[in-house]
């Protein structure tokens, strides 16, 4: 199993939210560099277009990280393909692949945060149709140097080449999904690796959806080993489970309560938090042994996963706390999982 971290390049954490954007970006790059040195497998950067995040130009951040790292894979988490030009997205990630010497990946999705749609002039009524069409074009570009294509939302291409090409034979493309069954079936039918964002509730409840993905992939002729499943969940590793909870809970409660006001979720309470960190709950928060044990349990409950990524910089944690967590993931959590 691959273990990594996803970040939304938060500009609003720690030190009473007084961190400047320049310092936040510098510290993010330091964390990616440490993740590379500590032996983590992948680091993903999200895409938002909000004041509190600095990740609107995902590939720029990943390219800066590529120059500071040597082995870790660099991915989006996710790229809102629906609101972008697939040609330009491919060119950007192909360039990243060249800079990183073959370490680029992309997770594409429709986006749970929808601010990109009005910003780039798209209608939310076309939410799914946009993604379906643009994913089709993106995969054609990935697989073919010369592309002939026509659709509704973008001018046609008539045997036109798209450059540069990736160093990798094929850019790894994961499909990022939430809880919509059709999205799981689409990923399976296309034979794309699946990245499931599980941010609340109990992880095992996603098993029927992941089974749908595997069934759709099998029906489309793909082998089980081609149908990889990754999980993205909030989490944090501390020196002990008690210390991890003490450090993680206050910022988590504050920021997720604020997010809940936007999305219609109830406020976070300690009782609800305790339910989320129990054996079945989604939050992977604890000491190294507890975290490794829970990741393995979740993998078993979902029929086996190929990748797990922590979302850590959404809980008011300081740069020092995040750096310590990365070191613990590399030195303790990963060995425990691979020996478990």
Contact 141, 86 (CB under 8 A): yes
CA distances from 252 to 221, 308, 317 (A): 42, 20, 9
In terms of Cα–Cα distance, which of 91, 76, 97 is closest to 147? Answer: 91
Contact 174, 109 (CB under 8 A): no
Task: Give residues with Cβ within 8 angstroms of 118, minimum separation 6.
Answer: 124
DSSP state of 202: B
pLDDT value, residue 111: 82
Integer Cα distance of 24 and 319 in angstroms: 9
Which pLDDT band, with edges at 50, 70 and 90, does 128 fall under? very high
Strand partners, 234: 311
Q: Render pLDDT for 82-97 as a digit per residue (tens, 0 to 9).
A: 999 999 999 999 999 9
Contact 203, 302 (CB under 8 A): yes
Q: Render pLDDT for 62-121 as a digit per residue (tens, 0 to 9).
A: 999 999 999 999 999 999 999 999 999 999 999 999 999 999 999 999 987 889 999 999
Q: Per-residue pLDDT for 13 more than 60?
A: no
> What are 286's two structure tokens?
């604890």
Within its chain, how far is the Cα of 252 from the centroid? 18
Classify residue 142 as left (phi > 0), alpha (psi -120 to 50) or beta.
alpha
Phi, psi (degrees; rounded to nearest 5) at 251:
-70, -35
Domains of the chain: 2-339 (3.20.20.30)
**pLDDT over 90 percentage in the chain:** 86
Contact 28, 36 (CB under 8 A): no
> What are 211's two structure tokens?
């089974």
Integer Cα distance of 121 and 232 in angstroms: 29
Q: Render pLDDT for 271-305 as a digit per residue (tens, 0 to 9).
A: 999 999 999 999 999 999 999 999 999 999 999 99
Integer Cα distance of 22 and 193 in angstroms: 34
CB-side exposure of 100: number of CA atoms within 13 Å?
30
- SS3 state at 229: strand
Burial of 106 (0-12, 13-18, 19+ CB in 10 A): buried
Q: Per-residue pLDDT for 203 more than 90?
A: yes
Q: Beta 284-286 vs 307-311: how paired, if at all?
A: unpaired
């Amino acid at each position: 199993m691959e273990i990594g971290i996803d970040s939304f390049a938060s500009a609003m954490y720690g030190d009473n939210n007084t961190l400047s954007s320049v310092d936040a970006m510098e510290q993010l790059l330091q964390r990616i560099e440490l993740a590379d040195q500590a032996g983590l497998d992948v680091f993903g950067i999200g895409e938002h277009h909000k004041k509190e995040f600095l990740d609107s130009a995902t590939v720029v951040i990943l390219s800066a990280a590529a120059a500071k790292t040597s082995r870790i894979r660099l991915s989006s988490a996710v790229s809102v393909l629906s609101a972008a030009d697939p040609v330009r997205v491919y060119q950007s990630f192909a360039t990243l692949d060249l800079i990183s010497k073959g370490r680029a990946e992309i997770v594409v999705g429709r986006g749970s945060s929808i601010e990109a749609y009005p910003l780039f002039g798209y209608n939310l009524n076309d939410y799914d149709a946009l993604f379906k069409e643009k994913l089709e074009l993106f995969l054609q570009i990935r697989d073919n140097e010369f592309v002939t294509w026509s659709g509704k939302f973008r001018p046609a291409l008539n045997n036109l080449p798209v450059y540069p090409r990736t160093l990798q034979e094929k850019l790894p493309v994961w499909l990022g999904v939430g809880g919509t069954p059709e999205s799981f079936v689409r990923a399976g039918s296309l034979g794309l690796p699946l990245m499931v964002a599980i941010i609340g509730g109990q992880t095992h409840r996603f098993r029927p959806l992941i089974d749908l993905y595997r069934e759709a992939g099998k029906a489309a002729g793909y082998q089980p080993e081609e149908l990889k499943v990754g999980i993205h969940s909030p989490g944090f590793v501390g020196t002990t489970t008690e210390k991890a909870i003490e450090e993680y809970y206050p910022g988590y409660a504050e920021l997720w309560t604020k997010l809940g006001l936007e999305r219609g979720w109830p406020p976070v309470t300690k009782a609800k938090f305790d339910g989320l960190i129990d054996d079945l709950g989604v939050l992977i928060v604890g000491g190294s042994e507890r975290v490794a044990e829970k990741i393995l349990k979740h993998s078993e409950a979902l029929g086996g996963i190929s990748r797990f990524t922590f979302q850590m910089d959404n809980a008011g944690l300081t740069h020092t706390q995040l750096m310590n967590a990365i070191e613990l993931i590399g030195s303790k959590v990963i060995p425990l999982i691979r020996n478990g």
